[in-house]
Amino acid sequence: MNKENVKKLIEQGKTALGIEFGSTRIKGVLIDYNGNVLATGGHEWENSLVDGVWTYDLKDVDAGLRSCYTVLRKEVEAKYEITPTVFGAIGISAMMHGYIALDQEDKQLARFQTWRNTNTSEAADKLTELFQFNIPLRWSAAHLYQRMLDKEEHVKNVASVFTLAAYMHYKLTGQKVIGIGDAAGMFPIDSDALDYDESMVQKFDALAAEHGYPLKLREVFPKVLTAGDDAGCLTQTGAALLDESGSLQPGIPLCPPEGDAGTGMTATNSVAPRTGNLSAGTSTFAMVVLEKQLSKVYREIDMVTTPSGFPCAMSHANNGTSDLNAWVGLFQEFSQLMGLDTDMGTLFEKLYTHSLSGDPDCGGLLPYGYYSGENITFINEGRPLFVRTPDSPFNLANFMRANLYTSLGAVKLGMDILLKDEGVPLDRIMGHGGLFKTPKVMQRYLAAAVNTPVTVLETASEGGAWGIALLAAYLADGKKDGKLEEYLEQRIFADLTGEALAPDPKEVEGFGIFTKHYVAGLEAEKAAISCVDW
C-alpha cells in the first residue's frame, strides 16, 4: 500500500490501534482493517519487588501509555505526514491476572499485585476445593480472597477490582467491563453463558459474607463482554490521558479489553477448537482450544477462554525469558569490555543460532530461570540457578541451548498433561512473541518439546499488540465477515505465510532427557530457595 493510500485511511479513521502492556515493554501497533501494520510505538519499563510484592506504580502505567502512544504518533507523522485524530477502534491489552483494587472514588486501596506474585496459596487452595475448579495463585479471585484471609484493612472499602487491561480501559472510557478471555484470569467462566460461573459466584459471595465482607463479586468485578461487543468510547479525559499532543478526539469506540493470552491466540489465529499457540516472553504460556472440558481438575492447568468464549486449557509458566535476557546482557557487557560494539539484536541472533550446534539434551546442563515462584512445579519462590555435573560438556552452544530449553521447561510439563495424559487433539500449534524472531531456533525447540509441527508466521514478533489491534479492527469493520474465527481465517490470515517445522526425532528424545533432568533437579531449586536468603 502506498503512502498516499495509507494517509487517506488514517485521515478517515479507517484504522485500528492496539496497545498492550507487557511485562517489560508497552507496545502500540496501528493497522488497517486487513491487519497490515502501519506504525508501531514502544516504551520500556520493568516491575519492581517492593516489600515482597511484584508491582508497578500506577503513575508509571499512565506515563508508559502516553510514552508508547507518543512514539507511535510521531512515527505516523514522520512516515505519512499526518497527525492521527481518530481511529476506527482502539483496543487495550495487558498481562493477565493480578489485583488492582479501588474504592468508591476510584482511589487505589492497595499496591498493584501482578501475575508474578505467588503469595495467595492459601486462598487458591481453598477456592479450588470449594469450586472443584483450579484457581491459580495469580488469579484476581485468589488475590481478593487472600486479602480477606489476611484481614487487610482496605478490603472493607473495595468497590472495584481490575486486571491491568480492564483498569486502563476504565480510565479511557469510564466503562467497567472486561473481555471474556481476560475475565477468565479473574474468575471461572461458564462458556455456555459467556459470563462468570453463577454457581461459583454465589459460593464466593457467601464465603465473603462469612468473613464479614458484604461485597458482591458481580458488583466488584467488571462486566464480561466477548469479541465484537460494544465496550464504550474514548472520553475527553481518556483522550487527554492517551495523547499528550491533544490531537486525538473523543468518541472513538473501544473493543473489550483483553489479556495477553487472548491477544496471543488472536495474533496466531488460534481461536478455534483443536488449535493452539505458545507465547514466549517474560512469562511463557501455551494455549490449546478444547472441543470438550478436561476429565478432571489439574492444578498445573488453567481453564480460560478465547476472546469469543471457547474453553481453552493453558499451561502457564511465570518464568520465561528474564534469566535468558540477563545472560545475553552479560555477553554484551563482555563484548563491550573487549572493545566490540555489538548491539543486542545481533547478540540474540548469534547466540540463539549457535545453540543449534549443541547436544540435543544440552549435554546435561540444567538452568532454572526462576525469578519468582512457579505454579506448574508447585514452587512459591524463585532463585535463578545453573547446575551441571563435572563431566558435562560445558560449551557455549550447550549453555545457550539449555537456557532456551528451560524457558519451555515448566510449560512442557503442562503440555504433557494435555497431550499425553488427556489426549487432547491438536491440529496445529503456532509460535508467537519476540523469542521466535530468530528464524527456526525456538520453533525447532518448541516442536521437540510438544512433538508437534510448529508454525511461526511473519507477524510472530509483533506479538499481542497486533492481536489486540485485530480485535479492535474486528469491532470496527470485521463483524460483517462473521464470527471472530471466520474473520481471522478468511480475511487476516488467508495470505499470511509461515513455514511449519516438524519435530526432529533426535531433538524430541533430547528434550525428553532434558525434561527428566529438569524434574529431578527441582529439589536443587527448592534447596536454593531454602538456603539462599540474603
pLDDT at 221: 98
Kindly calculate the radius of gyration of the chain based on its CA atoms and give it in whole angstroms.
22
Q: Distance from CA of residue 203 to its chain's centroid?
A: 29
Cβ(252)–Cβ(404) below 8 Å:
no
The pLDDT > 70 percentage for the chain reads 99
Find the mean pLDDT for residues 133-159.
Answer: 96
Q: How confident is the model at residue 462 (pLDDT cuts 50, 70, 90)?
A: low
Burial classification of residue 203, based on how many CB atoms lie within 10 Å of its CB (0-12 exposed, 13-18 middle, 19 or more buried): middle
- The residue among 289, 283, 169, 147 whose CA lies nearest residue 229 is 169
At residue 352 the predicted structure's pLDDT band, cuts being 50, 70 and 90, is: very high
455, pLDDT greater than 80: yes
**What is the DSSP code string of 375-441?**
TTTTB-S---EEE--TTS---HHHHHHHHHHHTTHHHHHHHHIIIIIS----SEEEEESGGG-STTS
Instruction: Please identify which residue in the block is written with the cell numbers 499425553.
Output: 420
Amino acid identity of residue 31, one-letter, is I
Task: Name the band, by pLDDT with cuts 50, 70 and 90, for residue 23.
Answer: confident
Tell me the torsion sign for CA atoms 21, 79, 493, 90.
positive
pLDDT of residue 428: 83
> Cell triple for residue 286?
501455551
Position 279 confidence tier, pLDDT thresholds 50, 70, 90:
confident
355-402 confidence digits (pLDDT tens): 999 999 999 999 999 998 898 999 989 999 999 999 999 999 999 999
pLDDT for position 481: 86
- Tell me the pLDDT band of 153, cut-offs 50, 70 and 90: very high
pLDDT digits (tens, 9 = 90+) for 180-198: 999 999 999 999 999 999 9
pLDDT of residue 460: 53
Mean of all residue pLDDT scores within the chain: 94
pLDDT in tens, 77-114: 999 999 999 999 999 999 988 999 999 999 999 999 99
Q: What confidence tens digit (pLDDT) does each residue in 237-256 have?
A: 999 999 999 999 999 999 99
Residue 461: per-residue pLDDT = 54
The pTM of this model reads 0.83
Q: Is 238 left (phi over 0), alpha (psi -120 to 50) or beta?
A: alpha
Which residues lie below 8 Å from residue 303, measured CB to CB, with a gap of 6+? 133, 134, 184, 188, 293, 294, 311, 312, 313, 314
Neighbours of 108 (CB within 10 A): 14
